[in-house]
Amino acid sequence: MKIKRLLTFSVSLFIAVASFAQTKTPVVKTDAGLVSGMIDGNINIFKGIPFAAPPVGELRWKAPQPVQPWNDVKKCDEFGASPMQASPAPFSMWSEEFLIRKEPISENCLYLNVWTSSTSSNKKLPVLVWIYGGGFSSGGANVPIYDGEAMAKKGIVFVSINYRVGIFGFFAHPDLTKESGYNASGNYGLLDQIAALKWVQKNIAAFGGDANNVTIAGQSAGSMSVNCLVASPLAKGLFNKAIAESGANLISGAFGSRTLQQAEEDGVKTASSLHANSVGDLRKMSATELMKVQGIRGGPIVDGYVLPEPIGEIFASNKENNVSLLTGWNENEGLMFGQVKKADDFKKQMEQQYGNDAQTALQYYPATNDSIASASQYDLSRDIIFGVQNYTWANVESGQGSKVYVYHFTRKVPGTGQYAKYGAFHTGEVPYAYDNLKFVNRSWEDVDHKLADVMSSYWVNFIKTGNPNGKNLPDWKAYNTKDKQVMILGTTQQSQPLKDAAQLDFIYSKMKAQ
């Protein structure tokens, strides 16, 4: 009898353990097959779900193709590989928490990740799709500060996606244009993003999400990508709100202004440098060989397909996709691509660059001594690369009647050693906005945790309703071209008129005239 009771107890225990294990392995049906994830607390997490076929071999430099369906349950509890790029290493203000993991990195990179509090198709939670930055030459979804659990706990479905970068994501060539079927080439990274958004439309209901309430969000090149997607007719109907942090392409600049002809010419030069006689030869080369090519201009292309016209013209003609917009930039995110000049040299540069308007420029960016001139150069860089782009986007959208909310992030991110000198630096707002301070090894203060709670609440409210305001939050006034109210996100949070409006108007006028 004792043996029988012991066997009965053992079987019951086995069933209980098995049942418990099952609750720790959520399974969801996608259009390509079943996927299993994992549970952390009350959040279901799925990592490394393929949303397109691996873009390798003959699929290198092709629009993303459908995933090959599978029969068994696909285990999705680890991030897929990041796209091909140089191995990451901390530099400048970016410690390792702001970078992808060193491994794996592969051409086979078209995967996405989902964090959700529900896998009921009846839930209809609002959805955020996160697009990483990295200058269109680096980045990936597995960066610690892009974790989606905290946002999922606040009631949204958080999706992060991979897309091809560098030569694999933005390489154009006349032969690729001919074979494409749509008479264009080069915007493979943007096509990856669109493919991921289409996956969301088909599958997100099974993860508790509402396909009719999707926000796209990104920072830096991710923000520029958001700008491209809002402009692209191929992305119509895939989202209804946009969050753009420090990056857009409204005025000609480094990204988003190359024509297809220019990009194809660059591609021919690249092929020649690799001693390749055809695209077929290029496809036979290893990814490592292609990575050796230096000086490739990357980023979106005005290809007549993904981007039928320059982005500024699309917006000026009110042809963009209709969205509510939350956008802004940071106080100290100027990026210098050369040596900082002494005061006298900076004055000469301003005189050469702005001619008769040099004195006006020097009022906004003074050079009364070397220290002040140094700060002015960083401020000028901030305004040219980021500020004027997002400012122009806010002006255009609000002028056309869209709901727009603008922020200015001013909190000096705590840091010691080499990181102590950076203030509200480029990317510094991301761990606050997505409530991920815990992933960053900094000496956080109470004010930082409060700011992270406030910012992530604003972001979640916007994702849910298109309005960041909510209970127990400082009032965030909507932006318009008359009052130009922006939300200051720093040690305190308050709406106030944009203090930099005059200098941004000046920069806009000069860049527009080029």
From 80, 66, 139, select the one nearest 114 (Cα to Cα).
80
- Crossing angle of the two packed helices 188-203 and 221-231, in degrees rounded to 10: 70
**Structure-block tokens of residue 428:** 């510094």
Catalytic option among 160, 264, 408, 426: 426
**Going by C-beta distance under 8 Å and a sequence separation of 6 or more, which residues neighbour residue 342?**
370, 373
| Contact in structure between 204 and 125 (CB atoms under 8 Å) | no
| Contact in structure between 133 and 427 (CB atoms under 8 Å) | yes
Spatial separation of the C-alpha atoms in residues 141 and 165, rounded to whole Å: 12
Is 179 an active-site residue?
no
- Residue 130 DSSP SS3: strand
| Contact in structure between 160 and 148 (CB atoms under 8 Å) | yes
Is 220 an active-site residue?
yes
Spatial separation of the C-alpha atoms in residues 278 and 173, rounded to whole Å: 10
How open is the CA angle 483-486-487, to the nearest 5 degrees? 145
Catalytic option among 117, 160, 220, 402: 220
Catalytic option among 333, 397, 398, 457: 333
Is 333 an active-site residue?
yes
Spatial separation of the C-alpha atoms in residues 465 and 462, rounded to whole Å: 5
Spatial separation of the C-alpha atoms in residues 335 and 319, rounded to whole Å: 32
- Residue 58 DSSP SS3: helix
Active site residues: 220, 333, 426
